[in-house]
Structure 1
């Protein structure tokens, strides 16, 4: 069993993965200042609640888009799990696929991991949409290469910016509107409509433009916590894979273990 660590800009996810199957997962707010000792105390309690121990972990792999968080996670792995961690995109865990972009060194680990997992689970040209701090659209070729994409503000980021810049607007929960009408009768309903249907329009519009540009059938794979929320009101998604990044970490770990040293 491996411990896969996915460090995003907003949240950090620890997952125990055995044979490609996620046995347990835990989420915590990303904080680069959090020490290895703090992680250990928190994880120890969660392991026990789920019936696992540190001895069950055979290896550790870390994928991060927050470089400052990496040091303490390496210390956690080495001090408390007695394992030298693999770091996604580095050393033995270098990316196994082509990065067909102008700045391959700037491709986020989460996006590369999503590409690995999406290609392993689906054939043909793919568009992977990840609803995270940013909303990203990633183009995957039939050979599994990453061929570029789109970065848009995440829905929570957009909502925070709107509320902070407009003094009279209330903070609202992100949810589907109560009706299909796009004409709100209250300030809150108008905000929900703008955020929700605005994102649906962006999703459908950008996916359609990507399909038109490549000129071939394109399967759209959605991941991230908000994918299921939007799936209720759009036909843009062909598949939803909620754990794509963790699956990518597991696949990358297996690839690294099989590769000759």
Structure 2
């Protein structure tokens, strides 16, 4: 069976097509292009027999996905957040208030480890979620991601301006305003990972999984835990096979 998995976020709509447990095609669309109608439908989608989607991108993107997949004759299931599923228990009093990408990522991490695990998703926002060894979600944190951190300085601090972003970043003190802001965002998230490591020790959690669009950059200078960029898609794969 050919299954299409779609992770629709605020910046990108990431997708992959699998056949017999093997990834045969994958890619991503800019969410802004989906919203304005200029996105090109990936050719591989027409081969799918079924699709699973996790979307936090809003009604316009969800409507586009429904319409496109219906035209292709592909049945789509949208993942939903629940209070309890497959041994994982949600800490939210109202589970529907949680972003479905967080829930699907936690389901994937829990199924992979069946032990205490912390999921750090570094995307437009950075989310941190702790799950103990009994599958109880202990709660989490939501913080601005790297782009939001930079934009917040540009938008609210009149004196912070630069003509060109640095070509690369480090965790060293910057020697220009651009480098100070750019490195500062990574410095802040690196410090966050150090705190996550300490908290995991306190909660008796042995596994940390990093995912999301900025996970590679985050892991590059802060190699804490395990890098797994496709965690949400892996959760959708598991939902489709369970």
**TM-score, with normalisation over the residues of structure 2?**
0.85
Distance 2:4 2:228 in 1: 20
Q: Does 1:132 align with 2:123?
A: yes
Q: Does 1:253 align with 2:240?
A: yes
Distance 2:18 2:85 in 1: 20
**CA-based RMSD:** 2.6
Distance 1:61 1:17 in 2: 12
Distance 2:94 2:81 in 1: 16
Structure 2 residue aligned with 1:18? 19
Distance 1:128 1:162 in 2: 27
1:192 aligns with one of 182, 191, 213: 182
Distance 1:72 1:24 in 2: 21
Structure 1 residue aligned with 2:70? 78
Structure 2 residue aligned with 1:33? 35
Alignment check: 8 A CA contact 2:81 2:100 kept = no
Indicate how the Cα distance of structure 1 residues 53 and 196 shifts in structure 2: closer, same or farther if over 3 A, else same. closer
Q: Which of the pair is proportionally richer in strand? A: 2
Distance 1:157 1:53 in 2: 32
Q: Does 1:242 align with 2:229?
A: yes
Structure 2: which 5+ residue stretches go unaligned? Answer: none
SS at match of 2:107: helix
SS at match of 1:102: coil
Alignment check: 8 A CA contact 1:116 1:248 kept = yes
Kindly report which structure 2 residues correspond to 1:200-215, keeping only aligned pairs within 5 A, or say none.
Answer: 200-212=190-202, 214=203
1:230 aligns with one of 189, 193, 218: 218
Alignment check: 8 A CA contact 1:138 1:148 kept = yes
Superimposed CA distance per residue, residues 214-236 of structure 1 (whole angstroms, 9 cap, x where no aligned partner): 2x14311101132222223224x
Indicate how the Cα distance of structure 1 residues 24 and 204 shifts in structure 2: closer, same or farther if over 3 A, else same. same
- Structure 1 residue 147: deviation in Å? 3.3
Aligned residues: 235
Task: Point out the more displaced range, 147-156 or 225-234.
Answer: 225-234
Structure 1: which 5+ residue stretches go unaligned? Answer: 256-261
Distance 2:110 2:166 in 1: 34
Kindly report which structure 2 residues correspond to 1:14-163, keeping only aligned pairs within 5 A, or say none.
Answer: 14-31=15-32, 33-34=35-36, 42-43=40-41, 46-47=42-43, 52=44, 54=46, 56-68=47-59, 69-80=61-72, 82-89=73-80, 96=86, 97-163=88-154
